[in-house]
Amino acid sequence: MRTKPTLTWTPEGEPAPRTTDLAEVERVLSEGDVVVLSGAGLSTESGIPDYRGEEGSLRRHTPMTYQEFVTSEEGRRRYWARSHLGWRTIARARPNAGHRAVAALRAHGFVSGVITQNVDGLHQSAGTAPVIDLHGSLDRVVCLGCRRTSAREALDRRLRAANPSFAAATTRINPDGDVDLADEMVREFRLVSCVACGSGVLKPDVVFFGENVPRDRVERCYRTVDEGRALLVLGSSLTVMSGLRFVRHAARSGKPVLIVNKGQTRGDAHAQVRVDLPLGKALTELTGRLGCS
């Protein structure tokens, strides 16, 4: 069963109290075994915008849905043409101070596990391991026919060969790895099929809006939250249930939930503390306080 995409939510009631004081986050981290749940807000300082912030891509861009991708060749052509350009920017992105701080907190034992809603691989590039990629990763491609996975770099080479004159200047990248592109350029773009089975439809190995996260991955996330002592949310509005459910699960289990995010989140009611600070600054300060910078 596919779910209806949740792109926005409307806050109800009074906003939860917010602070710029990191003392409680520091205290909880100092006791160790904290699980991190990160969102797109952690990658904005690497040049990848979030969906719902002040400059969020949803203000100008509707992301691809699973239903459109699997039922429409035109939709797939539009996605791959835009993603072919956007992938180059994602591949060049580098971890920022927030990613490096999470890696340091993990290396020093303050963080016991990392779940990310991001598909950019920047946690891994910063040295964090292991990481649960809740929504998959843009550096892999899966065939919807034979289910074979392959490297995105290999597909990029094939798409370049199939579209030797395809190029466009772009300054806007979206969190899902595509860019804004004129319709006439999309129409000229040539798709390629799976090299293993010869005819299968290729899809980035990420969870599109309206697509379910694989059940075994969800269960792994629940186990990670259960094994931790607290949950720290970094840079996520928690609009979609795929991330919010872990916040609710932690709260029901009596675990402290701490949220560091610019702006209101759907999980604020479950948070023990809500810190409203830029993530790079906040996390760098925390690593310094905890002696792992």
Number of domain units in the chain: 2
Cβ-based burial of 147 (10 A; exposed 0-12, middle 13-18, buried ≥19): exposed
Reported as a pLDDT band with limits 50, 70 and 90, residue 13 is low
| 159 and 250 belong to one structural domain | no
For 130-164, the pLDDT digits (tens) are 999 999 999 999 999 999 999 999 999 999 999 98
The answer on whether 151 is annotated among ligand-binding residues is no
The answer on whether 281 is annotated among ligand-binding residues is no
Q: What is the mean pLDDT of residues 40-68?
A: 72
The answer on whether 56 is annotated among ligand-binding residues is yes
Structural domain contains residue 11 = no
| 156 and 131 belong to one structural domain | no
Cis peptide before 130, with omega less than 30 degrees from 0?
yes
Which token pair is 251? 């709260």
| 286 and 155 belong to one structural domain | no
Ranges of H-type helices in 95-164:
97-107, 122-125, 152-162
Reported as a pLDDT band with limits 50, 70 and 90, residue 91 is confident
pTM for the structure as a whole: 0.89
Q: What are phi and psi of 73, to 5 degrees?
A: -65, -35
Supply the range of the domain harboring residue 283: 17-48+95-135+210-293
The answer on whether 218 is annotated among ligand-binding residues is no
Reported as a pLDDT band with limits 50, 70 and 90, residue 85 is confident
59 pLDDT exceeds 60? no
For 16-31, the pLDDT digits (tens) are 788 999 999 999 999 9
**Residues identified as active-site:** 135
CATH of residue 127's domain is 3.40.50.1220
